[in-house]
Amino acid sequence: MVALAARRGRILRFDEVRGYGFIKPDDGGEDVFLHANAFVGDKGLLAAGMLVEFEVTEGERGLKALAVHAVDGPPAHASPVAESRPAASSSGGPYDDGMCDVLAPADYLQELTEALLEAEPTLTAAQIVRVRRRLLTIAQHHGWTEG
């Protein structure tokens, strides 16, 4: 593996039990897989929202972070991802106002990652990245996300 470039970004999600998560690069592009062993420092500090500097390499299964360093320490809040409510339901319910939320792609991917890991904790990072990529394309096609 050859490192591609040094970058900055924020941790989108990190599962301390499984020891991995994803970084959203500040310069855009595909989310980068983060394994706890790539973090230089106290792994207990890893949390969603943390600003990090990292190198990126192309692994066998996609982009992977290397030499990850915290830039500003632990985040002051749990996650920078905006809270959203469930989409409107035609079955009538507390959110049945005839409208539905249109999420930013990052918010959609965050919720999707949480749902995938909750439904099937044995998914590999590569599987999650592939599923997320395809479902984001579908969501954007149907106007469920911005952009």
59 lies in the same domain as 111 = no
**Does residue 109 fall inside a structural domain?**
yes
Bigger pLDDT: 42 vs 8: 8
User: Which residue segment(s) compose the domain that 117 sits in?
Assistant: 86-147
pLDDT band at 74 (very low <50, low <70, confident <90, very high): low
**What's the domain count of the chain?**
2
Residue 11 one-letter amino acid: I
10 lies in the same domain as 54 = yes
CA–CA separation, 130 and 50 (whole Å): 24
- pLDDT tens-digit map of 6-15: 899 999 999 8
Q: Which two tokens stand for residue 143?
A: 């106007």
The set of residues, in sequence order, having a beta carbon less than 8 Å from that of 49 and lying 6+ positions away, is: 10, 11, 75, 77, 78, 79, 80
Place of tokens 């005839």: 98
Q: Which two tokens stand for residue 93?
A: 């319910």
Domain boundary among 72, 103, 130: 72
61 lies in the same domain as 35 = yes
The pLDDT of residue 84? 35
Asked whether the predicted pLDDT for residue 96 surpasses 60, the reply is no
CA–CA separation, 56 and 79 (whole Å): 23
- pLDDT tens-digit map of 128-142: 888 888 888 887 777
Enter the pTM of the model: 0.51
**Does residue 81 fall inside a structural domain?**
no
